[in-house]
Amino acid sequence: MSLTRPAAAAAAVLITAAGGLAAASPTLASPGPGVGAGLGSGATTASASVRAPRDDAKTAAALRAMASPKVAWTRCGSGLQCATLEVPLDYGDPTLGTTKLSISRRPADNPSQRIGALFTNPGGPGGPATQTVGLFAQELGAQVRKRFDIVGVGPRGIEGEDLAMCVGKPGEEMPQLDEHMFPLWDKEFAQHLAYDRAYRKTCATAMPRILKHMSTADTARDMDLARRALGDKQISYYGISYGSYLGATYAALYPGNIRALVVDGVLDPVAWATGRGGEHRTKPVTERLNSHLGAHEALMSAFKECERGGTSLCAEAKTVRQDWQAILTTLSKGPVDMGDGNYLRYDDVIALALQVLYSADDIPLLMPAITELRQAIAPTTPVRKAAGTASADGQVAAEATPRSRPKAAVARLKALAAKVDREHPAPAPLSESTAPKGAHRTNGPVLGLNSTVLRSSGLAAAPSAEEPPGEPDAPVYDAGFHGVLCSDSLNPKDPKAWIAADRRVKWQAPGFGPAWLWTASVCAGWPGMNPDAYRGPFDKATSTPVLIIGNHHDPATPYSGAVAYRKELKTSRLITLTNGYGHGALGVSTCVDRLRTKYLVNRLVPASDTSCKPDHPLFTRLD
C-alpha cells in the first residue's frame, strides 16, 4: 500500500523476520536473560468465557453440505499460478450471496512426491497472502518446495472482489492529524479521536458489504473451502505474526483437519480476542497484546548485547543507552529542526527504531545512527511553553529550539530508512480502478500492525506532487486492517479509554507504548462487528500437535504470546528461539529450519518442548 504521513507505518506484523534456533533442550524453555517480567502477565489464566459464533452448529452443517468450489488456474508470474475462489459472503446466511477471493500458488518442484498444498499467511491483518507465496517458497526451503504447492488465499476485504473501502462524499474533508504517527499531546489526542469518529461514521453510512464479514473466522472458513477445492483431506499451514492467530482460529474451528500447522511470531489468541477476566472493558487489544513491552525489551536487550560485546564488536557500547535516552528527552520537548526543511519528531525516531528491530541484521546499524543523532540534536534549549501541548499526564512540554543540525545524522537516518524500505517493501497498492472517481485513499493513522515499511516525515520518500484541480476528492478510508482487528477483538466502548491507557503504556515502554496502543483506537464503537466472529476457546485438542515457534526478543509478538498459546493448547509443542532477535524465526536458523521441515514434510513432532539458538550472534566482528 502506498502510505502517506498520517497513514504512517512503523512495523507490520509481517514477513522477513530475523531470528532462529540452534541447540536443543528437552524442557519447556523459559524466558532468557533480559526478557521483560511483564511479558508473560496473565499467560497462565484460563480463557475468558465467550459467546460462540451465531448458529455455530448450523453454520458447520451448512459448510459440510456445501459443494467444494471449483478452481481454474492461470499463469500469473514467474512459476506462479492464480485463480479465483467463490465463497459465501456470510457463512451463517447463504442467501446473501457470494464473494470471489484471489488465490495463488507455486506448484511443487517434484510433482511425483507432492504431499499437497501448504497454505501460508504473512500477517497483518491485511498482509497480501497471494503476493508472498514466492517469498515463503524461498524461505521455507528446498524440501518444502519439492513436496508442497505453496498457496496463498487473499484475505476477504483485502484482496479479491470486495474490498473494505469506506467512501465518503465528494468534497467532504477528512480530519487533519498534524502529521503525527501517534498522538503526543492533548491537541493531538483530540485530533486523533476526531479522525476516528469520521472514519467510523463514513463506514457506518457507506458500509461496503464485506465489512461485516471480515473476521478471522471467516478467513479460516475460506481457507478450509480452499483446502477442499484443492483436494486435500487435511490442511498443512504456516502462518507468521497475525497469521498465527489465523492458524489458532483454524485449529479451534477445525481441530480434526490438522495435518501440520506451524505458527511463528505468535500472538496470544486470548489477548487478541477478549483478554482475561473482563479486561477488555478497560484495556484495548493493542495494550493486552504486550507488543509495546516486547519492542521496549528488544531494544534494551540489544543495548545490553552491544555493551557486552564492547567497542570491538559495537563501537557505541559505552554511550548508546545514554544516547537513546538523551534523544527521547530532547524530542519529548518538541520537534527539532534538522535543516533543509527536515523536522524530526519523537514519533519519527520511535517508528524507525521499531521497524529496524524487526531484523537482527539491521539492529547493529541502529547503534551508530542513535549516537550520531544524539550528537546532532542534544542538548537543546526549550524556548517556550507551547499552548495546547500538555501531555496526558498534565505536564506541558516546551518546544525545542529550531536550528540547523549537522547533515550527517539526517543522511544516516535516511540511509537506514531506505535500507528498510528496500529489504521489506510495502505490498503493491490495490488497483486504482477499484477506487471511486475523485477518491483520495488513506489508511488513516495505522501504525505497527498493518504496514510493512517505515514512512518517516523527512526520512523517507518525498511527498508526491499535488494533483491538478478537478472533481472534488472523496475521503476513502481503507478499512482492511480495522475490518479484521475490530471484528475479532473486544475493546472498551469509550474512546477516552485510549487516553487512560496511554498514561499506562508510555511509562511501561516509553515511545513504543503509544506507538502500538493507538492503532486500535477506531475500534471503540466500530460499525462492522461480525456476529460470526470466533473468540475462543483456543484449547481444542487437534489431530496433530501444533508447532509453536517463539522468539525471546521479538519486537512485535513478544515471547509471552508463544508461551500463552502453548499453555492454552495442550496438543502443541514449543520451539524457543533463545536470545534471538527480530520478528519471527523464518529462514535464519539451521536448527529451526530443520525442526520445522521435519514437522511439515514428515509430521515428526518434537517429543517435548525444545529450544535452539540463532546461527549468528547479534554483533559480529567486521575485520
pLDDT of 96 over the 80 cut: yes
User: Residue 68 — pLDDT band, cuts 50, 70, 90?
Assistant: confident
DSSP summary character for residue 123? B
> 0.75 exceeded by the pTM?
yes
pLDDT of 18 over the 50 cut: no
Distance between CA 414 and CA 492 in Å, rounded?
38
User: What's the confidence (pLDDT) of residue 385?
Assistant: 39
Please list the residues that pair with 476 across neighbouring strands: 167, 441
Mean pLDDT confidence for 203-212: 94
Residue 350: Cβ within 10 Å count? 27
Instruction: Answer yes or no: are the C-beta atoms of 219 and 247 closer than 8 Å.
Output: no
User: Residue 48 — pLDDT band, cuts 50, 70, 90?
Assistant: very low
Distance between CA 175 and CA 444 in Å, rounded?
10
Query: Identity (one letter) of the amino acid at 574?
Result: L
Distance between CA 400 and CA 380 in Å, rounded?
6
pLDDT of 158 over the 60 cut: yes
User: What's the confidence (pLDDT) of residue 398?
Assistant: 41
User: What's the confidence (pLDDT) of residue 59?
Assistant: 66
What are the residues whose beta carbons fall under 8 Å from the beta carbon of 193, sequence distance 6 or more? 495, 496, 498, 521
User: What's the confidence (pLDDT) of residue 60?
Assistant: 67
Mean pLDDT confidence for 608-617: 96
Distance between CA 168 and CA 560 in Å, rounded?
41
Residue 205: Cβ within 10 Å count? 12
pLDDT of 347 over the 50 cut: yes
User: Residue 69 — pLDDT band, cuts 50, 70, 90?
Assistant: confident
Span 470-508, pLDDT tens digits: 566 888 899 999 999 999 999 999 999 999 999 999 999
pLDDT of 147 over the 70 cut: yes
Span 579-590, pLDDT tens digits: 999 999 998 899
Distance between CA 203 and CA 368 in Å, rounded?
44
Mean pLDDT confidence for 330-335: 91
Distance between CA 435 and CA 166 in Å, rounded?
10
User: Residue 387 — pLDDT band, cuts 50, 70, 90?
Assistant: very low
Better pLDDT: 150 or 402: 150
CATH superfamily ID and name for 73-160+220-289+534-612: Alpha/Beta hydrolase fold, catalytic domain (3.40.50.1820)
Cell of 27: 524442557
Cell of 202: 463514513
User: What's the confidence (pLDDT) of residue 94?
Assistant: 85
pLDDT of 515 over the 70 cut: yes
Domains of the chain: which residue ranges? 73-160+220-289+534-612
Percent of the chain whose predicted confidence (pLDDT) is above 90: 64
Query: What is the side-by-side strand order in the sheet with 165-167?
Result: 165-167, 474-478, 439-442
Please list the residues that pair with 83 across neighbouring strands: 103
